[in-house]
Amino acid sequence: MKTRDRIIHAALALFNDHGEPNVTTNHIAADLGISPGNLYYHFRNKEQIIHCIFDQYAIDLTISFEPVDVAEIEAIEDSLLRYLDAVFLLMWRYRFFYANLPDILRRDAALQAKYLAVQTQLQVNISQIMINFRDAGLIALADVDLKVLADTLKLVASSWISYQTTQVAGAKITQTVIYHGVQQMLNIVRPLATELGQQRVAILQHHYLEQEQKYLEQEQKMMTGEL
């Protein structure tokens, strides 16, 4: 792996584990065992590193939420699972960004412009995904209500981690916490779904409840030193 890529990879891990405000370029260099000068050869400052991480996040987001047509019941369930898995993976992989989003964007106007452009495209994609699900008989909402649902789901996904960090002092974001966020999104959709849609949502809720329980057990074992 090239040094530049190693820097990005290490920075993402440190930001996620310790919080972006608590990590400096010196910390990143020390973690890699390179000199600060070597790091500055590739990046002038921490903000440039964050931009590179965001660019990869934007690519992952675009690919993950590319609308696909669904017709068969199995395809409907697979597409729902794919989208929700993408929500989980993005929230976990880039959790520092979700946790510190207002502060990061406030101090970097260029990054905020990038973020708003990505969010605009994301809104278009999510709206189309909702339309596809309506066409497949999962939900039966008018266009205006469909947009409200899409806005609400995007809001929950983008603010869930930040919200969780304010509920308990020193709260640690774990995979269990993020799976709980996915469940919250399903809880929003289920009352608005058709009978067929509610059946599909119930299957997904059971799946993610099992995943949440699995990670919770792992986290408890780690706390007690069993892992």
**Tens-place pLDDT, residues 15-61:** 999 999 999 999 999 999 999 999 999 999 999 999 999 999 999 99
Question: For the chain, how many structural domains are there in total?
Answer: 2
Q: Are 16 and 103 in a shared domain?
A: no
> Which CATH number fits the domain that encloses residue 182?
1.10.357.10
Considering the domain architecture, whether residues 26 and 122 belong to the same structural domain is answered as no
120 lies in the same domain as 31: no
Q: Same domain for 52 and 152?
A: yes
Considering the domain architecture, whether residues 16 and 100 belong to the same structural domain is answered as no
14 and 108 share one domain: no
What pTM was computed for the model?
A: 0.88
Residue 193, classed as helix, strand or coil, is: strand
38 with 19, same domain: the answer is yes
Residues 15, 109 share a domain: no
Say yes or no: 81 and 15 in one domain.
Answer: no
- The C-alpha torsion from 54 through 59 and 61 to 63, rounded to 10°, is -170
- The pLDDT, as a whole number, for residue 66 is 83
In terms of domains, do 220 and 120 share one?
yes
Same domain, 14 and 34: yes
- Residue ranges of alpha helices (H) inside the chain are 3-18, 25-32, 36-42, 46-64, 73-93, 95-99, 101-106, 109-135, 143-165, 175-189, 195-224
For residue 19, the domain's CATH number is: 1.10.10.60
- Among 100-114, 122-136, 211-225, the range with the most confident prediction by mean pLDDT is 100-114
Range of the domain at 146: 47-224
Q: What is the pLDDT of residue 93?
A: 96
Which residues have CB under 8 Å from 31's CB, separation 6+? Answer: 10, 14
The residue type found at 158 is S
Q: Are residues 64 and 18 in the same domain?
A: no
